[in-house]
Amino acid sequence: MTTWVSVGRPTDIAPTRCAVFSVGDHDVAVCNVEGELYAIDDLCTHDNGALDQGELEENEIECPRHGARFDVRTGRATQLPAFLPVETHDVRIADDTVQVGLEHR
């Protein structure tokens, strides 16, 4: 079951940037890649650093602490030292509001 959490407006997330929102009990980075929005946990799986502080280049975000990279579309780690993926979340626009989906299992 998915719970949708409203986090902001599409204009809050500039192209090639990420914006961080509190969703549930953690922070989620919503990233704008060529007009498409993707949501990942704002937490590097290598050392728990904030990913939103890193550079978003095309579809990859780089952790500013040690250079690990992640594909924001899939969460896959694409560069060491990280090898575990980051958690991804569904994103939708409803009534000009960005919503992030939280899965309940």
pLDDT in tens, the chain (105 residues): 889 999 999 999 999 999 999 987 889 999 999 999 999 999 999 988 899 999 999 999 999 989 999 999 999 999 999 999 999 999 999 999 999 998 865
Q: Give pLDDT, residue 105.
A: 57
Q: Give pLDDT, residue 10.
A: 95
Dmax (CA) of the chain? 40
* Global confidence as pTM: 0.92
**In degrees rounded to 5, what are phi and psi of residue 52?**
-65, -15
Angle at alpha carbon of residue 44, lines to 43 and 47, rounded to 5°: 110
Domain positions in the chain: 13-88
Superfamily the domain 13-88 falls into: Rieske [2Fe-2S] iron-sulphur domain (2.102.10.10)
Report the alpha-carbon distance of residue 77 to residue 92 in Å, rounded: 24
For residue 59, give the DSSP letter: T
